[in-house]
Structure 1
């Protein structure tokens, strides 16, 4: 088994320099780091995370907390995790997905165990008890999402209010007047992204002098299909739908087709907060506003890393809107 001495000889550096790279205890130049890491790969040297933790008091592990017990982990949500994990590796850290609920008992266990150096929160609520629990336990953290008042707290988030208004205005510009909004049933209204999006939809409808039609739908294709089959009967005046429920999207379009409702000739559908992967699963392919998941995953890791390396600096705070991607589910209303 290769040792640090072997790596040092292969890379042409001191054993101390190899230790700095392995344990992250001191900064070395990028060129030196590259030589050491190349030597480690060539010799099959493996880092010992326990030894690194003993050396500098850190595990170099960041936990991403996603409440899988409450929310379905979609392909779009996975983009947050994979991009954050990639950025972590670039910075010499490991990222683990911690699939727990929103209760604070798990936070206490996480903090007391010293298992991780920091935490990234996802699916943040307007009043999220996890935030206070992390602060009380002095665990460095950042949010992908934000509470009602995120003053002084690091976060990166989707600008859902701007994105929802854009969705409404794009459909209104095509001539649609009765625009419904389908959201995820079972998601509590204090979920930050959902709450801000719904409120922006209401405001946009009011600004156009139109009623707000909010329709719940469970996060499942079957629920979407059932809604699609009865949609025209229950909402005969609606000519367009903003959909913030990508799990239901394939079923919704299938159900509409089953009921004889043509998309987009009879009903336009614009998916809010989705991805190319999810949009391609429907027939016809969805028009959608792309969730900036890869960008926010990277920024989310940068935000928590800043708490570790520069805790006295002002916390990072960033909002990114969704980006419109044309598809085949939007058209001007008939007549």
Structure 2
């Protein structure tokens, strides 16, 4: 026989109190005496009562939901974004929170809708641009929020991200230390730079600055990824910088095509040309030639974003985004040396 759903009225009868008293115990809106509270809590345990989420939200003015804004774009590497989303969802559950996933490209309108509806107690934004149109509205919601990414002006926002500027610098330092002086960067799709996505711009900023300090020439070419686009990009690089001896790749979908095309051209990795990537560990390890790489700490970024937003949501925590000073949590990059990078080849005679 199917078990009947336990109601708040059932708990009230079991505890010998009114339904409103049970509601007050659940919401904490009124002070209830210790013995009465204990009777209600014992009745809840005995009956296995689980408050309806909607009723709980009405009673407490809380939904126990975090909205995760994760625009799914064709020019972004979705597996990394989903890994971050999984970390957000798992960490949120450990705090008794559920996650509302918003994958559309609505931008400010989605922030406005969530803020006005009370659907979520807090918000986490991904795919942050340097001049992100969502941020002014996010500040107006007054809800606890965190960004996975760093805008150009982070004042008043709580952010977590890999330190992409340091990541770019680290890749150049590694190759320069091996004697490479002409490096080509195979970047993200052109649209990623056109909308000034933070992680891509900051990588190039740090990379170019360090290259200048080390006397390394850098040629940066965006790439859509895939064999056709990579073939055209590689041909262009070889025409423009025929002395290129190393590649830095920040485009997961370009990794396998690049290694394949170099092999077809008879260019051995790393004897003839070195390759360093900014990519997930799994992509680097499973490549045809295990890649020297800086890993994307997706799980840590998602976990930290939830921890930061929950700290703001706790009583006594920072009120929404009101603080003027930014809280920017940058994760230090680690470069793991594998089989794809080696000393620069000796220049050809003449």
TM over 0.5: yes
SS in structure 1 opposite 2:186? strand
Indicate how the Cα distance of structure 1 residues 188 and 88 shifts in structure 2: closer, same or farther if over 3 A, else same. same
Of 312, 324, 330, the residue aligned with 2:341 is 330
CA distance in 1, matches of 2:28, 2:263: 57
Indicate how the Cα distance of structure 1 residues 65 and 175 shifts in structure 2: closer, same or farther if over 3 A, else same. same
Of 57, 61, 64, the residue aligned with 2:65 is 61
- The Cα shift of 1:201 comes to 1.5
| Higher mean displacement: 46-55 or 168-177 | 46-55
Indicate how the Cα distance of structure 1 residues 317 and 209 shifts in structure 2: closer, same or farther if over 3 A, else same. closer
CA distance in 1, matches of 2:178, 2:28: 56
Indicate how the Cα distance of structure 1 residues 171 and 208 shifts in structure 2: closer, same or farther if over 3 A, else same. same
Indicate how the Cα distance of structure 1 residues 19 and 155 shifts in structure 2: closer, same or farther if over 3 A, else same. farther
CA RMSD of aligned residues (A): 3.3
Q: Does 1:304 align with 2:338?
A: no
Q: Does 1:254 align with 2:260?
A: yes
Which one has the largest radius of gyration?
Answer: 2
CA distance in 1, matches of 2:61, 2:125: 23
Cα deviations by residue, 1:118-138 (Å, 9 ceiling, x for unpaired): 111111111111010111233
- The Cα shift of 1:62 comes to 0.7
So what's the TM-score if we normalise by structure 2?
Answer: 0.80
| Higher mean displacement: 181-190 or 262-271 | 181-190
Instruction: Look up the match of 1:50.
Output: 54
- The Cα shift of 1:282 comes to 2.0
SS in structure 1 opposite 2:193? coil
So what's the TM-score if we normalise by structure 1?
Answer: 0.83
- The Cα shift of 1:172 comes to 0.8
Instruction: Look up the match of 1:33.
Output: none
SS in structure 1 opposite 2:54? helix
Instruction: Look up the match of 2:34.
Output: none
Q: Could you list the runs of 5+ residues in structure 2 that have no partner in the other structure?
A: 31-40
Q: Does 1:267 align with 2:273?
A: yes
Count of aligned residue pairs for this structure pair: 319
